[in-house]
Chains A and B, each alone.
Chain A
Amino acid sequence: MIEHDLRALRRALAAKEISSVELTELYLQRIARHNPQLNAYISVDPESSLAQARAADQRLASGEGGPLTGIPIAHKDIFCSRGWLTTCGSKMLGNFVSPYDAAVIARFAAAGAVLLGKTNMDEFAMGSSNETSFYGPVKNPWDASCVPGGSSGGSAAAVVARLAPAATGTDTGGSIRQPAALCNLTGMKPTYGVVSRYGMIAFASSLDQAGPLARSAADCALLLNTMAGFDERDSTSLDRPPEDYSRELDRGAADRPLAGLKIGLPEQFFGEGCAPEVMQLVDTAIGEYRRLGAETVAVSLPNMDLSVAAYYVIAPAEASSNLARFDGVRYGYRAAQYEDLNDLYGKSRAQGFGAEVKRRILIGTYVLSHGYYDAYYLQAQRIRRLIANDFAEAFRQCDVIVGPTSPSTAFKLGEKAADPVQMYLSDIYTIAVNLAGLPAISLPCGFAGGLPAGLQLIGDYFTEARLLDVAHRYQQASSWHLQCPAGFA
């Protein structure tokens, strides 16, 4: 049962081979057994999950329900979930039981999915290794001495270890795609504005976007069908007609299913900076795409090497503003002792935030301060435009851009934790996508030294269905995505 994809699980539920309660219990048992070792979940609440499962079973018994009814899904602990502890990986929210549901949580609940638990993450989603979580690092199920990636590392570890059939994540600079690559999952960041940010604890609002982490592109499509949709409570939500993101997937198999597809290979993705063993796997996957009928063209993203610099101005600037709300007054952590109101703020924030979050707030406060705004923030926004223009130019020559997701396979716990800049460079291939607001997906493309590597596909705005199909065709012709880490089968 744990190797079933979402459609197979749904068929098993419909055929009464298993009930939603039994399925939920199966996963809760697996979490109880394996989570102490992996630390992928921050919270589980069996009573709450099983109540949802019983309600789902009733819907199923009366022949109602949709594609996800009765299926347990894990959610990153960045999504406010009514009645659940919602920590965002921080001591600051260590006592925050959310009084309301995020839009994503409400949409899964309405679809009849079961909230299986809340997954570990870098504090306020600031990190690429899950080591900044106040609740301890997550271990990579492929090698417990390695990181799972971040910031959605708990979701990634949970899904690949079969502690959840699928999960949600959020991606501000690569936080879905990079852990997907490091854990052998398929993870998608949709076009900015496709999934509502309501109730998703804000890090950098102009970059944050929620998306699915699952074991196949087909599963991601089903999850995105539930997640996507206009929401008037999010001022940047896009009012577009609903789409079926799995509509391309049922096209019949063909010899060359991707004939006519033009894949752009940007020189900036294939230069120095990527581990040779990862590059070799990416090259082999591109060869497979040619076999499936795609042709490749050389493209260029000349400003891509500025993306990390621009990102580390824009994201901290927005974070310093967003995180001003955590002040010890209305919810969250308050210092035990203080003299006056300023002291209450200063001590609560000093004690409630971890080192990386503080660093980013300090950078953001500095670049927004008087006299520096033009030189840093406006300059970063102008470079953001240049990067978006580069992609627009590239998409005049190709349908999909392909390259590595991460410059290496999973690195060791502690390897980069003491050097923020080295950690930031883990996201050199993913950040430009967030700055431009484009959709992108990471999918498994093989193993080096026993650790998985990810292939990244980037599409033009609103081409999620096409990207999912391009990923799906590769997965029909390969089995990397089906591999399960030893000890979790």
Chain B
Amino acid sequence: MSLTPEQVRRVAHLARIEISDAEAASTVGHLNDIFTLIEKMQAVDTRGVEPMAHAQDVGQRLRADRVSEAGEVAQRDAFQAIAPETAAGLYLVPKVIE
């Protein structure tokens, strides 16, 4: 398979990474080299093989649904101190709904 610059722009949009036409054109070669490497997989017959998601096949643990950390306000202040823009304990972004 081979990607086109148009497909690269589409994927970049899905990934929310702004990309110029020139960048899409210059990155498509590298991406196709990588896909050529990946294509090697397609020749392998894997029918009946169970996909392996994790090295240790252990189930997800459950925990009690309770507050585990004290001082939520101080915690929130500490975390929001490094945010680009906050007000009244909220994270600010451009208006989404007109």
B41 adjacent to A362 (CB under 8 Å): no
With A232-B63, A383-B46 given, is the CB distance from A421 to B52 under 8 Å? no
A192 adjacent to B55 (CB under 8 Å): yes
CA distance A424 to B35 in the complex (A): 12
User: Taking beta carbons and an 8 Å cutoff, which residues of A are in contact with B?
Assistant: 95-97, 99, 191-193, 206, 232, 235-236, 238, 303, 305-306, 308-310, 312-313, 320, 324, 327-332, 334, 338-347, 349-350, 353, 355, 358-359, 361-363, 365-367, 369, 375-376, 378-386, 388, 419-421, 424, 435-438, 461
* Nearest CB on B from A409, distance (A): 23
Chain A residue, CB-CB nearest to B27: A359
A362 adjacent to B63 (CB under 8 Å): no
Since A96-B82, A206-B54, A424-B37 are in contact, a sample of 12 more A-B pairs with Cβ atoms closer than 8 Å, ordered by chain A residue number, is: A235-B61, A306-B41, A309-B38, A329-B83, A330-B83, A334-B84, A343-B94, A362-B11, A362-B17, A381-B53, A382-B52, A383-B46
Chain B residue, CB-CB nearest to A366: B11
CA distance A306 to B40 in the complex (A): 7
CA distance A252 to B14 in the complex (A): 60
CA distance A331 to B79 in the complex (A): 8
A344 adjacent to B93 (CB under 8 Å): yes
The answer, among B51, B83, B93, for a CB contact under 8 Å with A331, is: B83
Residues of B within 8 A of A365 (CB): 11, 14-15
CA distance A361 to B27 in the complex (A): 12
B84 adjacent to A328 (CB under 8 Å): yes
User: Taking beta carbons and an 8 Å cutoff, which residues of B are in contact with A?
Assistant: 3, 7-8, 11-19, 27, 30-31, 33-42, 44, 46, 49-56, 58, 60-61, 63, 75, 78-79, 81-85, 91, 93-96
B94 adjacent to A339 (CB under 8 Å): yes
Chain B residue, CB-CB nearest to A347: B18
CA distance A341 to B46 in the complex (A): 43
Residues of A within 8 A of B79 (CB): 99, 330-331
A437 adjacent to B56 (CB under 8 Å): yes
CA distance A256 to B33 in the complex (A): 49
* Nearest CB on B from A263, distance (A): 23
CA distance A340 to B18 in the complex (A): 13
Residues of A within 8 A of B94 (CB): 338-341, 343-344
Chain A residue, CB-CB nearest to B82: A331
CA distance A235 to B33 in the complex (A): 35
B41 adjacent to A379 (CB under 8 Å): yes
* Nearest CB on A from B86, distance (A): 9
CA distance A330 to B83 in the complex (A): 5
CA distance A99 to B77 in the complex (A): 10
Residues of A within 8 A of B31 (CB): 359, 362-363
CA distance A245 to B85 in the complex (A): 46
CA distance A398 to B41 in the complex (A): 28
CA distance A313 to B58 in the complex (A): 23
The answer, among B14, B27, B50, for a CB contact under 8 Å with A385, is: B50
Residues of A within 8 A of B78 (CB): 99
A420 adjacent to B41 (CB under 8 Å): no
